[in-house]
Structure 1
Amino acid sequence: MFLITLSIAVFNTAVQGQPLYDEMSDPCKEKRNTYEMYKEHVLSLQLVINKLQEKYCNVTACPDDWISFENNCYLFSETKTTFEAAKDICNKARAYILEDLSPWEMLLTKAKGFTHMWIGATDIRQEGVYVYESTGSRVTNGDWFKGQPGGGRDENCVVASKDNNWQWHDFPCNDRFHYVCKKTIASARKLLHLHGN
């Protein structure tokens, strides 16, 4: 009976000229939603564990307002700003703008509610040659969205967009987006030690 019903649905869809996918619900959607929910719960638990370790075990040395995760410290911006301003804020904290998003960093970013964020790469120095700001090394494996980069001389800074699964787009550097500063826990400890904390 199911096969007959499915065949009729396929026939009706074909006759009406509409894609079959629109007529039927996505059988994997519920599983994907459940998977995403569990990933977010795991992330939340990991962040709670990190905070408890910081408070009671003195296992990390991230500055106040920074989040520790997997041997790194992260500062999530509260406001949107230009690329240069974001770079200056991160550099003053002896950090750099997040450059490549690992799956966990994507979740951290999603948990903060960002929809767009600066990536620490530009082609300001030479059009079409994107380099990471922290090291000056050339971007060879950028996660570009289809057709990107495409802005020419008017769009020299890189933004990751939630709408496109955090793939990269080039944008004008004077636009305003959120950003994430990143540094290793080792460098944070060294900095705190130098300041006598």
Structure 2
Amino acid sequence: MFFRMRITSFTVFSCITYVLVFKTGFVESKCVYPWIEFQNHCYMFGLDGKTWFESKVECNKKNSYLARVETPAEDDWIIQQIFALNKVWYLWIGGNTLRKVGDWRWESTNEKVGYTFFYPSEPNRPTTERCLCYFSHHRKMLYWGDLTCTNKVGFICERDN
């Protein structure tokens, strides 16, 4: 005697989910558009111009913080994302020297900025440019630079996945 099973889209979905989750260890990302996942963190690229302080508030409203770029791999990935945007050449990240000139700290943790990717002549105005951003050098390479915190540029938010 044969058992006949009606194949429905729900049955197919259930089988695929079982294989992906239980057999491969795949877990669906918790990063929902416009957020993008990288190494268990979600990133959002804000393209509207805001000051560093406004960007911080905007990220906090989204239960996130201005991005902390802590490894070369993370830096490379973010740079690829910025080039894919193909129009934004300045973006705030979370580093600043607001507490003490020359002492770069991440705003979300107050930890010292360890890894850096400053342009060779940056940081260049330590008493007036106290906030950290990505910027393009002749629209060919992206580096970190210090910038006056009241400039209005894009920003990158980050949160744990």
Establish whether TM, by shorter chain, passes 0.5. yes
* CA deviations over 1:82-126 (Å, ceiling 9, x no partner): 000101111122211122252122111211222111121000111
- Contact 2:101/2:126 (<8 A) preserved: yes
More strand by share: 2
Moved over 6 A (4+): none
* CA deviations over 1:23-66 (Å, ceiling 9, x no partner): xxxxxxxxxxxxxxxxxxxxxxxxxxxxxx9xxx9712224432
Q: Could you tell which deviates more after superposition, 64-73 or 99-108?
A: 64-73
2:111 corresponds to which of 125, 131, 137: 137
What are the equivalent positions in structure 2 for 1:173-184 lying under 5 Å apart? 173-184=149-160
Q: Which runs of 5+ in 1 are unaligned?
A: 1-52, 186-197
TM-score, normalised with respect to structure 2: 0.72
**Structure 2 partner of 1:117:** 91
Percent pairwise identity: 25
Q: Which runs of 5+ in 2 are unaligned?
A: 1-19, 21-25
User: What residue identity is the alignment partner of 1:174?
Assistant: T
**Structure 1 partner of 2:143:** 167
**Structure 2 partner of 1:98:** 67
User: What residue identity is the alignment partner of 2:103?
Assistant: V
Give the aligned length: 130
**Structure 2 partner of 1:65:** 34
Greater Cα radius of gyration, structure 1 or 2: 1
User: What residue identity is the alignment partner of 2:129?
Assistant: E
Query: RCO greater where, 1 or 2, for CA within 8 Å and sep 6 or more?
Result: 2
More helix by share: 1
2:46 corresponds to which of 56, 77, 82: 77
- Contact 2:129/2:147 (<8 A) preserved: yes
Q: 1:169 and 1:61 mapped to 2: Cα distance?
A: 31
Question: What SS is found at the alignment partner of 1:180?
Answer: strand
Deviation, structure 1 residue 71: 2.2
Root-mean-square deviation over aligned CA pairs: 2.1
TM-score, normalised with respect to structure 1: 0.59
Distance 1:147 1:64, change over 3 A: closer
